[in-house]
Amino acid sequence: MSRPYAEVEREAAAVLARHARSFRWASWFLPGNVRRDAAIVYAFCRMVDDAADDGTDVQSARECLATIRAMLEGEQPQSSLVAAYHEVAARTGFGLAPARALLAGAASDLEKVRVADDAELLTYCYRVAGTVGLMMCGVLGVTEPDAKTHAVALGMAMQLTNICRDVREDALLDRVYLPRARLLASGLDASSLHPEGILLAASPERAAVSRAVLHLLCDSERLYARATEGFRYIPARTRLGVWVAASLYRGIGRRLQRTGGDALAGRTVVPVGHKLLLATISLGAWLRSLALPSRPRPLLGPGPSLFHLTSPPSTRVG
């Protein structure tokens, strides 16, 4: 990247360090130029997320997202970060379509969130996280078209991990991402399907929330497995960083599973020692992958959940 972007590179790296502990760990396993591009992509996505979350009111947040979209489309002067992101998108070939979908996903967070069913959650996860997988395909130098579905699967798996981990924090923001249909199927009555009801949930209602979380974590595991099948598409030099990132995020979900899915107990984190262990395991998996063919073997057939899909019907990856 040219020198005019040196300052935004430093700022993007600082954003990554402040807000993304797991991704920061993983970024150290990437070559320097790839790490810089990945940091700029992360900083842009974080800017979109913050625009939705940090506005003083819904209208100001909408205006902020509209400004980002206008800069992205060249309809008004670009900030240094948007200009840097635009350059990375053009140079690495992932284009602007993922960012447009990301902005649509962020806009859906501006008011209270209630997700009706799996299909609605699937669309949301694609927009706010599957799209990041598409961006990273370009950053990592992935050229095989079939790799896109695996990249989308990884982004969506990570988003499901976030949703399961952050049930309590999201409820405080009047957002319930656990699908209504799943909560009802798990035994939560309709009067509890709002943030206050979930936050105050006690047995057996709290157990019902935990069951819904565990079911979503099972779906995230299927998506992680699908994503891992596509790691061989990633050039060997950048593959290790992705493996570490996936393992660390997957570790959050597995740790939550071991607590019975009790997301209301507080935010689940992976201790530093366990992160080191997961990074070491990822290194071994990466070394073994170097001896395997570059094209993955066929995937197992989908299970009963809608999450065997990797993008919603209206937003298929191309």
Q: Where are the domains of the chain?
A: 1-92, 112-293
pLDDT value of position 97: 96
Instruction: Please name which of 307, 293, 281, 304 lies closest in space to residue 216, comparing C-alpha atoms.
Output: 307
Answer yes or no: is pLDDT of 129 > 50.
Answer: yes
Average pLDDT, the chain: 82
Answer yes or no: is pLDDT of 303 > 50.
Answer: no
Q: What is the DSSP string of the chain?
A: --GGGHHHHHHHHHHHHHH-HHHHHHHTTS-HHHHHHHHHHHHHHHHHHHHHHS-SSHHHHHHHHHHHHHHHTTSSPPPHHHHHHHHHHHHHT--SHHHHHHHHHHHTTSS-EE--SHHHHHHHHIIIIIHHHHHHHHHHT---TTHHHHHHHHHHHHHHHHHHHTHHHHHHTTEE-S-HHHHHHTT--GGG-SHHHHHT--TTHHHHHHHHHHHHHHHHHHHHHHHHHTGGGS-HHHHHHHHHHHHHHHHHHHHHHHTTS-GGG------HHHHHHHHHHHHHHHHHHTTS-SSPPPPPPP-SSGGG-SS-GGG---
Residue 313 — pLDDT band, cuts 50, 70, 90?
very low
Residue 165 — pLDDT band, cuts 50, 70, 90?
very high
pLDDT value of position 187: 83
pLDDT value of position 271: 87
Q: What is the DSSP string of 249-274?
A: HHHHHHHHHHTTS-GGG------HHH
pLDDT value of position 71: 96
Give the pTM. 0.84
10 Å CB burial of residue 37 (0-12, 13-18, 19+) is buried
What are the C-alpha distances in Å from 157 to residues 69, 217, 249? 26, 9, 9
Percentage of residues of the chain with pLDDT beyond 70: 78
pLDDT tens digits along 50-74:
898 876 789 999 999 999 999 999 9
| 112-293 topology per CATH | Farnesyl Diphosphate Synthase (1.10.600)
* Range with lowest mean pLDDT among 74-78, 190-194, 215-219: 190-194
Answer yes or no: is pLDDT of 316 > 50.
Answer: no
pLDDT tens digits along 226-235:
999 999 999 9
pLDDT value of position 306: 42
Residue 317 — pLDDT band, cuts 50, 70, 90?
very low
